[in-house]
Amino acid sequence: MTFSPSFNDRTDFDNATRGFIHALKPCIIRNSSGRVVWNNDEYGFLQDAECPATAEPKLWRQGQLNSIQGLFQVTDGIYQIRGFDLSNMTVVEGHKGVIVIDPLTSVECAAAALALYREHRGDRPVTGLIYSHSHVDHFGGAQGVLQQGTNTSIPIIAPEGFMAEATSENIYVGDAMRRRAGYMYGMRLPKGPDGHIGCGLGMMPSSGTMSLIPPNVSICHTGEKRTVDGIRIEFQMVPETEAPAEMNFYFPEHKALCIAECATHCLHNIITLRGALVRDAKAWARYLDETAVLYGQKSNVLFAGHNWPTWGQDEIVKFISEQRDLYTYLHDQTVRMMNIGLTGIEIAERFTLPPALQMAWHAQGFYGSVSHNVKGIYQRYLGWFDGNPAHLWEYPAAEAGQRYIDCMGGVDEVVRKARKYASEGDSRFAVTLLGHVIAAHPEHKESRLALASVYTKLAYGCENATWRNIYLSGAQDMHSPPPPDRPEPPKREYRAALSMEQLLTLLSVQLDGPKAATESFTIDLDLQEQKQSWRLILSNGALTYRIKTDHDRSIDTSGLRLTLTKKELVEILNGGGGIPENSSEGDVSLLFKLMRLVGASMPPASLL
């Protein structure tokens, strides 16, 4: 039996507007060249409007709530700016200035958020900065609140491991994840009742300038206490939950709990559609239980990096406890059904949450979904293979598609049958059939139009915002295919913030193995400021690397030895610098051969 939350319950609307001070009018934010990087006004069609046939009613309601923007008072001395990005920025007033929590995705939006706060609360300096976790929508706007040249001796606080995770997130498989994120967040979709209506956690990420100011204070254990600008803060470490490096924190004088992104007003992702390591649902639930014990009965208000706050001790404990039960149930029941022989797909089709969770608005699948989270938990334990020998060595999509077409009597017959299934209400199988045609014959116009129609129909019925965005983006591509990837390697951006190991890992995963298969050479990098030497070995299409050992030093087999700083190395790899004078021994052309093999931009000839 299925249950649904009550649309007569207006608590979320009361909480989403509680403490409202002022909105930004118009809520349009531009970068220095005038390009719009955020436009919340485009979602004006949602407010006070009945849900149309082109949207699922619960998701429409979530879009209405998330599109409310402006400056809000959370409690005395704590304010949030919401509706300026996918995430929220929080400002805590200290004795001399303000502590900023999670400065959004982009510099421009963070600056606009702080300006709105200052307009109504005074031009207070930033005296502290806190990153709750290692996702870019919670640190990317840092230079919008701490401009270059600002005194960065102020505490910039983050959980242990933050820099490693913040710099590696989206790096190794960044290109693939960015393509998926474009679909998941519906970045190209028009805003409107038949288009983009949000992402569940918020409306969408802003598209401005991203930055990263490294933290200078690391929080390492639960119960650690700090005083910033006269404000006492107690921290709870929650690693491997919604992010690999994450923490919650409590303000005793305010009786306010920041729960980072561990509990939001929708089901979150155990596995994301843009791609990422599968999260640990069991650890997530365990930390939520610890949060309830440590801070539940102490807190008068709970706020997070997304959505709106929750007020009242009883309501806070209920909220955290139900979120805990949600992730526990997902994990434990998936594992139970795995052990009786069901596959991930079979479990997802059978899975039903308990009635109280089905009726809780904050447990609805607006961002994460039960279906994909179940499959993510299955994947974490058992991987992609479902144990069926028939699935052990399947054809890739194009080859399988051609064989399905042959079996069914040709392309026209497959399209006819797909239309029949769609007309009978079986859109899921219609998509499967048409997907075979598109895989084998991507230019077939009739099947593209038919698939666009079915994608759109599926999108309009989706409770999950990211599913809706993916279906509508797919339909958009069927009508107007995106330009094909360029045949030449794309420009690579090598980031100075990466550790040497991360930087060299990035080089290794970008190496064109087939082209490099017959190359064999060694490059030594002596990094001056780090007093450390690395050996890069290219052989058999594989780039390996290690810190040089005494054995390496006793047998000097390198074809090139470079003595330089890490900054100089990054500039060379980014195509903007040459080898410093008198810093090389051996064949300099080996470095540029390596750069060509990893698709890096080459420096100007004058710098070689």
Amino acid identity of residue 180, one-letter, is: R
Give the confidence band of 607 by pLDDT, cuts at 50, 70, 90.
very low
**Average pLDDT of the segment spanning 564-576:** 88
Give the confidence band of 487 by pLDDT, cuts at 50, 70, 90.
very low
Cα separation of 93 and 425, whole Å? 55
Checking if the pLDDT of 121 tops 50, the result is yes
Cα separation of 287 and 290, whole Å? 5
Give the confidence band of 149 by pLDDT, cuts at 50, 70, 90.
low
List every span in the chain annotated with CATH 3.60.15.30: 10-332
Cβ pair 520, 587 in contact under 8 A:
no
- Residues 404-461: tens digit of each pLDDT: 999 999 999 999 999 999 999 999 999 999 999 999 999 999 999 999 999 999 999 9
Q: Tell me which H or E stretch contains 11.
A: helix 11-17
DSSP tag of 581: T
Checking if the pLDDT of 206 tops 60, the result is yes
**Average pLDDT of the segment spanning 503-517:** 93
Cβ pair 475, 455 in contact under 8 A:
yes
Residue 424: CB atoms within 10 A of its CB come to 10
Cα separation of 39 and 41, whole Å? 5
Checking if the pLDDT of 27 tops 70, the result is yes
CATH topology for the 500-598 domain: Nonspecific Lipid-transfer Protein; Chain A (3.30.1050)
Look at residue 556 in the predicted model and tell me its pLDDT: 67
Q: What is the mean pLDDT of the chain?
A: 93
Give the confidence band of 489 by pLDDT, cuts at 50, 70, 90.
very low
Look at residue 608 in the predicted model and tell me its pLDDT: 40
List every span in the chain annotated with CATH 1.25.40.880: 394-479
Cα separation of 522 and 405, whole Å? 51
Cβ pair 116, 135 in contact under 8 A:
no
CATH topology for the 10-332 domain: Metallo-beta-lactamase; Chain A (3.60.15)
- Residues 240-294: tens digit of each pLDDT: 999 999 999 999 999 999 999 999 999 999 999 888 889 999 999 999 999 999 9
Give the confidence band of 162 by pLDDT, cuts at 50, 70, 90.
very high
Give the confidence band of 1 by pLDDT, cuts at 50, 70, 90.
confident
Look at residue 492 in the predicted model and tell me its pLDDT: 55
Look at residue 484 in the predicted model and tell me its pLDDT: 58
List every span in the chain annotated with CATH 3.30.1050.10: 500-598
Checking if the pLDDT of 23 tops 80, the result is yes
Look at residue 63 in the predicted model and tell me its pLDDT: 98
Give the confidence band of 151 by pLDDT, cuts at 50, 70, 90.
low
Give the confidence band of 494 by pLDDT, cuts at 50, 70, 90.
low
Render the burial of 301-337: b for 16+ CB within 10 Å, e for the rest.
Answer: bbbbbbbbbbbeeeebbbbbbbbbbbbbbbbebbbeb
Its pTM stands at 0.93
Percent of the chain with pLDDT over 90: 84
Q: Specify the range with the lowest mean pLDDT, choosing from 92-101, 202-211, 257-266, 591-600.
A: 591-600
Backbone angles phi, psi at 187, to 5 degrees: -65, -25
Look at residue 558 in the predicted model and tell me its pLDDT: 85
Checking if the pLDDT of 321 tops 90, the result is yes
- Residues 183-192: tens digit of each pLDDT: 999 999 999 9
Cα separation of 304 and 263, whole Å? 8
Taking the domain 394-479, which CATH number applies? 1.25.40.880
Look at residue 19 in the predicted model and tell me its pLDDT: 98
- Residues 324-379: tens digit of each pLDDT: 999 999 999 999 999 999 999 999 999 999 999 999 999 999 999 999 999 999 99
Look at residue 579 in the predicted model and tell me its pLDDT: 85
Packing angle between helix 566-573 and helix 500-510, nearest 10 degrees?
Answer: 20
**Average pLDDT of the segment spanning 3-29:** 97
DSSP codes, 136-180: GGGTTTHHHHS-TTS-TTS-EEEETTHHHHHHHTTTTTHHHHHHH
Supply 337's token pair.
């059904």
Look at residue 178 in the predicted model and tell me its pLDDT: 87
- Residues 61-80: tens digit of each pLDDT: 999 999 999 999 999 999 99
Look at residue 91 in the predicted model and tell me its pLDDT: 98
Contacts with 37 (C-beta within 8 Å, 6 or more apart), sequence order = 29, 30, 31, 106, 108, 109, 206, 207, 208, 209
Give the confidence band of 606 by pLDDT, cuts at 50, 70, 90.
very low
Checking if the pLDDT of 150 tops 50, the result is yes
Supply 447's token pair.
């099947």
Cβ pair 559, 586 in contact under 8 A:
yes
